[in-house]
A = this chain, B = another copy of it.
Amino acid sequence: MPTEFELIDRFLKPFARKGAGVVIGPGDDCAVLRPSPGADLCVTTDAVVEGVHFTSAFFSDADIGHKALAVNLSDLAAMGARPRWFVCSVACPPEALARLPAIARGMARLAAKSAIMLAGGNFARADALSLHITAFGEVARGEALTRSRARPKDRIYVTGTFGDAALGLALRSIGRKPGAAVAARQLRPEPRLKMGLLARGFARAAIDVSDGLVQDLGHVAEASGVGIRIDAQKVPTSRTFGDLAANRDLALTGGEDYELVLFVPPARAVAFERACKQAREQVTLIGEATKKPGIELLNAPQLAHTGFDHFGGPASRPRGRARRPKG
């Protein structure tokens, strides 16, 4: 069996060794990072656990590494932050040690693509494999896109399409194999980093959709003290989704889309759409914020539940006074 130290060596190999703002990287008591002058630091932590967030029946090791980082990058995207550094705490059973280099390669590929640097980490023995990542991004002082600044009449835009990740899961649960495009949405989500940066000049509030569109819209409504009205028919879905899904429920409530929802003041909407077009980024207007509290779904049947809750199962109603320490 490799020692903890050999293991760390192997895990580190696929990652870049030097990066901007890294004064001291892996190998000391702490990493030492040098934030940009005047920048605010956006910090998020998220975990993926074997048997809960992934199984090796469906995920390759490289997929696991990709996804563990991607879910954190998606949170940075939702703040409009530029990715800088991350640390990774690995819990691993001895029999899974041999998988770590492949996991690291999947993670390192996305890290390189996203210009984020591994600054440190930790390995601990455990009965199940899990990866806990804390990622850091930067925004100019005061410019982070929060959930709490949406105002009535703000236009609600979304990136990409919804429901494919949940569709893939549903197909698998009935023994059918999803096609490559649908599978990729679940295995290798692409954080909308470019869109987050672009939106910073236009949007007033943002969130990434990880627990279902309607539920995550509810978080913005609550944090901003506004209502939400969306047209369910306008929520964009992929062609495959249209072909296979009998109704749009999964697009409204399915988890793991990792798309962004952006609240843009009416006066900036035209310029925003133009900027997206120039950048070849797809956005779709699906509704607007309102004064009246609550979530109003036009053209939608009554939903059985609004999204995913990690312990309570499907959440049965829009959240009340919940606070989420996704940070």
Binding stretch for chain B, among A19-27, A59-67, A231-239, A242-250: A19-27
A35/B32 contact (C-beta < 8 A), A134-B45, A134-B134 known? no
Assuming the contacts A127-B127, A311-B125, A315-B3, asked whether A45 and B89 have C-beta atoms less than 8 A apart, the reply is yes
Q: Please measure, in the bound complex, the distance between the C-alpha atom of A51 and the C-alpha atom of B128, giving whole angstroms.
A: 12
CB pair B5–A323 under 8 Å, yes or no, is: yes
Q: Are A89 and B132 in contact (CB under 8 A)?
A: yes
B28 and A327 form a contact (CB under 8 A): yes
Residues in B neighbouring A141, C-beta threshold 8 A: 34
| Residues 1-17 of chain A, each 1 if its beta carbon lies under 8 Å from chain B, else 0 | 11111111101100000
Which of A75-83, A108-116, A155-163, A265-273 binds B?
A75-83
Residues 223 to 261 of chain A near chain B (Cβ within 8 Å): 223
User: Chain B residues with Cβ under 8 A from A297's Cβ?
Assistant: none
Inter-subunit contact A91/B44 (CB<8 Å): no
Stretch at the interface among A143-151, A164-172, A276-284, A285-293: A143-151
- How many copies of the shown chain assemble into the complex? 2
* Complex contact B327–A81 (CB within 8 A): no
Of all chain B residues, which has the CB nearest A25? B327
Chain B residues with CB under 8 Å of A327's CB are: 24-28, 30-31, 87, 119-121
Q: Assess the B323–A8 pair: CB atoms within 8 A.
A: yes
With an 8 A cutoff between CB atoms, is A175 at the interface?
no
| Contact in complex: A134, B87 (CB < 8 Å) | yes
A49 within 8 A of B: yes
**Residue in B76, B139, B326 whose beta carbon sits within 8 Å of that of A120 in the complex:** B326
Complex Cα distance A11/B142, Å? 28
Residue in A38, A120, A206 with the greatest tally of chain B CB atoms within 10 Å: A120
**26 pairs of residues in contact across A and B, judged by CB atoms under 8 Å:** A1-B312, A3-B309, A3-B312, A3-B322, A4-B311, A5-B324, A8-B325, A12-B325, A23-B40, A24-B144, A26-B323, A26-B325, A26-B327, A28-B79, A29-B207, A30-B78, A30-B79, A31-B42, A31-B327, A45-B122, A45-B132, A46-B122, A47-B132, A53-B124, A89-B134, A132-B132
| A interface, CB within 8 angstroms of B | 1-9, 11-12, 23-35, 37-49, 51-53, 75-76, 78-79, 81, 85, 87-89, 91, 94, 97, 118-128, 130, 132, 134, 136-137, 139, 141-142, 144, 146-148, 206-208, 223, 309-312, 315, 319, 321-327
Give 8 closest A-B pairs by Cβ, nearest first. A120-B327, A26-B325, A31-B327, A5-B322, A3-B312, A132-B132, A134-B134, A30-B42
